[in-house]
Amino acid sequence: MRTSDHTQTKERLLTCLKRHRQSWVSGESLSSDLGVSRSAVWKHIAGLRKEGYLIRSSPKKGYSLEEVPDLLLPAEIREKPTTRVFGRRDIVYLPQVDSTNTRAKELAGRGAPEGALVITEQQTGGRGRRGRTWFSPPGEAIYVSLILRPRITPVEAPKMTLMAGVAVAETLLSAISLEARIKWPNDILVGGKKIAGILTELSTEMDAINFVIVGLGLNVNIGAFPDELRGSATSVLLETGKRFPRVKLIREFLGWFEKYYAEFQRTGFAPLLARWKYLSDMIGKTVTVDVLGSRHRGEVHGIDEDGILILKDSRGDYHRIFSGEVLL
């Protein structure tokens, strides 16, 4: 799964073509810049065209990159890195898959390293929490799963969901100035409607974690939702009236996530928790939480150091809610 020499050469070739975007660069200079034969250059050009890059060629002038496809291609994600580990080497790109989380779990089970990503354009069996499906039309949203191997106990795993939620909210804020809010534990809302969801799945052994999969579904350029979602779902396009480059959002998300993840490993959960409290806007509000069919009503007192929701009921008793759904 590691980025092969072949892929590295292809990506360097792409960088050269981008530097001369819409002007010509000769096969000869590409071959000497990259240290490969001219026929190797030609083969990589053919590979890029197959991926959707529009590259003109002329026997006299060489090659010219005319158009970059609107796809979540690994070369595009890696082009302007915002991270040191997440998505730097191991990106599995699939034009279509049942669920990126399912595929990431398989890869992690076979030893894929921390920071590896599975990305797709379309999911045929996208999964949400509580057995729900995740609306996953082609080419308009982000479906990505990240493999993590944190040194934490299973009970601390909710921290990873909170961390991903903060990273998504920061991304929407910094890249698009969208005021996103986090609804515990894993919904990202804009104007009260869901724009993104996070599905965290674990593999554990006794009281240790083998790996965590953090799956993100982010509605970017979806222009219309099916009837049953229309009242509750939104997208970047619907909120801003503009399409946004998905690759940029993935890069931004990975940057924020890695920043918080590294900070968590260095100094603990407190800085993230402070930011979560601000971005969730839930503290002090009275909510009902559904926990496997039983309902708990109370005031949101906070999140404890394990990432668990603390509710204060009308008698003043505190309840720790490990997992559930806040009903607004």
Whether 166 and 275 have beta carbons less than 8 Å apart is answered as yes
- Please, which residues bridge with residue 249 across strands? none
**Interaction between residue 134 and ligand BTN (CB under 6 A):** yes
Considering only 74, 87, 115, 197, the residue that binds ligand BTN (CB under 6 A) is: 197
**Interaction between residue 132 and ligand BTN (CB under 6 A):** yes
Instruction: Give the interface size with ligand BTN as a residue count (CB under 6 A).
Output: 20
**Interaction between residue 82 and ligand BTN (CB under 6 A):** no
Is the Cα dihedral 260, 266, 270, 274 positive or negative? Answer: negative
* Cis preceding-peptide flag for 185 (omega within 30 of 0): yes
Contact partners, residue 254, CB within 8 Å, separation at least 6:
77, 82, 83, 86, 87, 117, 146
**Interaction between residue 217 and ligand BTN (CB under 6 A):** yes
Query: How far is it, in rounded angstroms, from Cα 121 to Cα 325?
Result: 28
Nearer to ligand BTN, 82 or 100 (CB): 100
CB 40 → ligand BTN: shortest distance, Å? Answer: 36
Nearer to ligand BTN, 127 or 246 (CB): 127
CB 181 → ligand BTN: shortest distance, Å? Answer: 14
Touching ligand BTN, residues 29-58 (CB under 6 A): none
**Interaction between residue 198 and ligand BTN (CB under 6 A):** yes
Q: Give the residue from 36, 87, 66, 49 showing the smallest Cα distance to 252.
A: 87
Nearer to ligand BTN, 99 or 171 (CB): 99
CB 125 → ligand BTN: shortest distance, Å? Answer: 7
CA atoms within 13 A on the CB side of 295: 7
CB 96 → ligand BTN: shortest distance, Å? Answer: 13
Nearer to ligand BTN, 70 or 98 (CB): 98
CB 197 → ligand BTN: shortest distance, Å? Answer: 2
Whether 276 and 165 have beta carbons less than 8 Å apart is answered as yes
Strand order in the sheet with 325-327: 318-321, 309-312, 294-303, 286-291, 325-327
Q: Locate the DSSP E strands across 159-285.
A: 181-183, 187-190, 193-205, 208-219
Q: How many CB atoms lie within 10 A of CB 47?
A: 14
Q: Which residue is nearest to ligand BTN (CB)?
A: 197
**Interaction between residue 225 and ligand BTN (CB under 6 A):** no
Here the tokens at position 284 are 């002090």
Q: How big, in percent rounded to 5, are the helix, strand and coil portions of the chain?
A: 35, 30, 35
Residue type for position 321: I
Considering only 82, 83, 100, 219, the residue that binds ligand BTN (CB under 6 A) is: 100
Span of 80-88, 164-172, 215-223, 302-310 interacting with ligand BTN by CB under 6 A: 215-223
**Interaction between residue 135 and ligand BTN (CB under 6 A):** no
CB 21 → ligand BTN: shortest distance, Å? Answer: 32
Nearer to ligand BTN, 65 or 171 (CB): 171
Residues forming contacts to ligand BTN in the complex (CB under 6 A) are 99-101, 123, 126-129, 132, 134, 143, 145, 186-187, 197-199, 215-217
